[in-house]
Structure formats: C-alpha cells, structure tokens
Amino acid sequence: MNQQKIKVIIADDHAILRAGIKQILMATDDMEVVAEAKNASEAIKFAGQVKADVMLLDIALPDRSGIDALKYIKKDNAKIGVLMLSMYREDQYAVRALKSGASGYLCKQSASNELENAIRTVAKGKKYITPEVAEVLASHVETETQKLPHELLSDREFQTLTMIASGLSVSEIAEKLSLSVKTVSMYRTRLLEKMQLKHNADITHYVIKNNLDT
C-alpha cells in the first residue's frame, strides 16, 4: 500500500531557493511539491485552489509581507499548516508569525537541516518550535507586561518602522507594499505616536539601538 505523501506548496520569490527546497523534498519518500508561488498573491491563490498539507511561506515577499499573506491564507484554508521561512532572526518575527496563525518559524540559514522534520511535524497539525523560537516565546511571556515601544506596534506599523529606518520614503514604501501613500503616512503617524518619537531620524536611531535592522 502506497504511503500518502505530504503535499507541499513553496512560496518564495527566489527561484534558486525554491529549486533547492524542491530538491530536498523530492529526495524524501513521503513528500511532494504540488505548487510553487513567487509572490504573496500566488501563495494566497494556491492555498485556496491547490490541495496541500503544508505551505512554506517566505516572510519577505515582493508584493506584501508573508505575515500579511498568512492571515488571508488561514482565512481561506484553516487546515493548511504554514511554516514561515525567513532571513530574519527569531526575536524579530517569530512571535508575530505564530500569533498570526503560523505553525512554525524557521531561519533560512538552518532550514536545510530542519526542514523535513519541521514539515512532518506541521503536517500532523502540530506546532514546530525550535529551541531558539521557544526561548523567544518564553522571553515574550516574561516581558508581556513591560513591552518595548516597538512591540506595541501592529504588523504593518512595525513593517513601516523598519522600512523607514532602511532609508525608504513614504511613497517608496507605499509602492513596495501596494498601499496608498495616505495609508502608509497614517501608519507612520501612528507609530510615531505610540513610540513617542518625532522624526524619521528618531526612528532610524531607535531601530539601530535595538538591533532591529539585522
């Protein structure tokens, strides 16, 4: 009797990385790649149209953030397990991703070593938590009552914060996120108020001081 294979969707804008992941999964006996998405729009579409058990979803997609896409994906297909892949350290996005419905979070640097185990865990409906993510979650629980200013921001406000600090203008951010300039300006105003900052220079200083730019 043939074993039922775990059906996987890969969503990443880098073709070489998609090919590398596909090669790893094709070498297993129990997994198959059923679709590849190069942006968030395709990831959302495939989640609703393609029968799959697990989606590997990059956080930094060109048309919208992976965390933003995740919310739409879970709304359309609550059963699919979403494993976030990221270049960012666990302390930056892991908690946000898990709160938004992700089943796990993997840094791309260590993904090749842990990928198969992570996919099998998520396919069973369980959460895949690395020791690094567990440490971040424990720290988050401990400091829940004494949050840092940037931890009070919504996902969009936090994204706007880091993009301003990287030197992008409001109009450039609006273009990258497929939002209106007015909407991004509103996020900027909100984050300045929440963090009690006044200027873009204050934002850049804060991001560097708190190591949010690495």
Nearest by Cα to 88 from 187, 211, 173: 211
pLDDT per residue over 128-161, tens digit each? 988 888 887 777 666 555 677 888 888 899 999 9
Nearest by Cα to 6 from 99, 136, 103: 103
- Domains along the sequence of the chain with CATH: 6-141 (3.40.50.2300), 149-209 (1.10.10.10)
pLDDT per residue over 16-33, tens digit each? 999 999 999 999 999 999
Q: In this prediction, what percent of the chain has a pLDDT beyond 90?
A: 62
> How confident is the model at residue 213, as a pLDDT?
67
Indicate if the pLDDT at residue 214 is higher than 60. no
Q: Residue 65 and residue 97: Cα distance in Å, rounded?
A: 11
> How confident is the model at residue 86, as a pLDDT?
87
